[in-house]
Amino acid sequence: MKEEPHGQLKTIAQMSRTQNRAASYAKKFNLAALTLLVIVCTAWYFSAHLVGKPFIFPYFEKVVGSITYALTDAAVLRAIAITIRRVLLGTLYAVLAGVPIGMAMGFSPLIMKALAPYVNALRQIPTTAWVPLAIIWFGLGDGPTLFVLALHGVFIVILNTAAGVMEIDKEYYNAVRSMGASTRDVITDVVLPGSLPGIITGVRLALGMGWMTVV
């Protein structure tokens, strides 16, 4: 019993050293990124003035001035807010539709065989090919944009969610079923928590792809 506090202090000291090393690495990384940014901006400034053709190679200070002016313009800020809202809503719709489908495909081999051909076929269609149909179906406004964003992200969410479910160790299923768990209990207590890494990855990728698609 006398050695237990010493062991706890040793563990705390090890954790502290680990955190200090992580903080040191983070500082070094930030310093390296900042240094690279300064080098790039400096090279841009002198290269643009050396070329002397702003139409081809704009001056660094003018670009910074334009960005600063744009960020203080109410119309630009309103447009940015609209874009952010569209990306978030499109991603939300993709998650609401993709997570249940992906969980069903990963949990049931029969559903996987039934839906996989259609999912793989539809996700190969370029996003721009859906734009005319989206305008016909939803008219002008937010409708076509949200549809295209959701459609572009839903397949990413489906695939990552299904992969997350399929990576769950089968022993977890056997363990809960041996204790009398129903199918609903298996889904809520095993499938949903176990697939969270895949779901989070799918949401992150869908959100990133949404920014590319909204342009």
Give the amino acid at 155: F
- What is the rounded CA–CA span in Å between residue 104 and residue 109? 9
- Chunk the chain into consecutive blocks of 10 residues (it has 215) and report each block's average pLDDT, rounded to whole numbers: 45 47 56 84 88 84 87 84 89 91 88 88 85 85 86 89 85 79 78 85 87 77
Provide the pLDDT for residue 10.
44
Q: What is the DSSP letter of 190?
A: I
Residues carrying CATH 1.10.3720.10, the chain: 74-215
Sign of the CA dihedral with 81 first, then 139, 207, and 192 last? positive
Provide the pLDDT for residue 61.
87
Rama region for 140: left / alpha / beta (φ>0; ψ in -120 to 50; rest):
beta
Question: Are 112 and 158 within 8 A, CB to CB?
Answer: no
The domain over range 74-215 is classified in CATH as 1.10.3720.10: yes
- What is the rounded CA–CA span in Å between residue 166 and residue 151? 23
Provide the pLDDT for residue 15.
46
pTM score: 0.70
